[in-house]
Every structure is written in C-alpha cells, then in structure tokens.
A = this chain, B = another copy of it.
Amino acid sequence: MVTAPVLYFAADHAGVALKDALRTVFEKRFADVRAVDLGTQGLESVHYPDFAFLAADKVAKSGGLAVLVCGSGIGMAIAANKVSGIRAAVVWDATSGRLCKEHNDANVLCLGARLVGPAAAEDALFAWWTATFAEGRHRERLERIRARESQR
C-alpha cells in the first residue's frame, strides 16, 4: 500500500480565509496529495499557538508537511518551532518559499494573511511544495539544530 503524502492546513481567525483559499487551489493542483484541514473554521477569535501545536505535533509524529496562517505568520512560526523536529519558515513570496525548502528543509510553511496577498501566498506555497532540499552543507546545519533539540 502506498500512502498518499499529506499536507495539513491550520490557521487562526485572522488566517482562516487565506487558509481556505490556499487549500482549495492546492487540492485542485495536487489532487494526489491528501490535504487535511485542522481548522479553525469561522471568524471567532482563537489562540494561534493552539493551532500551531496541533499541526506541528502531527508533522513531528507522523510526517507530512503543514501550512499555518495567522495575521503575520510570525506567531505561528515561533510556536511551531518550539516542537522538536519542526522547521517552520515565515515566507512572503515565491523566492522565500523556495529557499526555505532548498536550504532549511522547512516542513512547516507560515504565511501572514494581513501582510501577504493571496496570489503571492499561493506562489510561495507552490514554490515551497515543489522545491527540493539541497543537502550538502545545509544538512550539517540542520544536524546542529537537531543536536540542540536533543540537549533539552
């Protein structure tokens, strides 16, 4: 049995509209990927760390990747990076989206719905999803981050 790759989507109230829009275009373009919506739904105020940890724990334990959306993307990334094994990147365009996969092997992509327009966010998402980790000296740097996580 081949398991389909999975991409989790999560957001707070500020990011819910962009999260839903990104999930819709992603599902259309990558029909072979399982897109899983972890919420929130609706505009009621929630706390972004709850959704960051929900998605980050799934990625850390079971693999897959995640997209997190809040007002700036920054709070989501701070929270997600507290989880061992998570490399969460705030991005704002296609170039930052591509580089965070190539150099940092980012497994969580964070976007700010109040700062980045939907087309730029879409380009960032597709650039990240289709890019490949560059290995080499970048691997050594990720191992130093992993070593620090193990010291806790």
Measured CB to CB, the residues of A under 8 A from B are 45, 47-50, 53, 71-72, 74-75, 77-79, 81-83, 87-92, 95-96, 99-100, 103-104, 106, 112, 114-115, 137, 140-141, 144-145, 148-149, 152
Nearest-neighbor residue (CB-CB) of A152 within chain B: B152
Across the interface, which residues of B come within 8 angstroms of A112, CB to CB?
96
Would you list 7 pairs from A and B whose C-beta atoms are within 8 A, ordered by A residue? A71-B103, A72-B96, A78-B89, A82-B148, A89-B90, A96-B112, A96-B115
CA gap between A152 and B151 in the complex, in Å? 11
A77 vs chain B, min Cβ distance (A): 7
In whole angstroms, what is the CA distance A47 to B96 when docked? 19
Copies of the polypeptide in the assembly: 2
In the bound assembly, the distance between CA atoms of A34 and B103 in angstroms comes to: 33
Chain B residues with Cβ under 8 A from A92's Cβ? Answer: 92, 96
Contact of A88 among B45, B72, B78, B144 (CB under 8 A): B78
CA distance A62 to B145 in the complex (A): 22
A91 to B49, CA, bound (A): 19
State the CA gap A112–B96 with chains docked (Å). Answer: 9
* Most chain B CB within a 10 A radius of its CB, from A50, A92, A114: A92
Q: Is the CB of A78 within 8 A of B48?
A: no
- Point out the residue from B50, B81, B141, B148 that lies within 8 Å of A77, measured CB to CB: B81
Which chain B positions have C-beta within 8 A of A78?
81, 87-89, 104, 106, 145
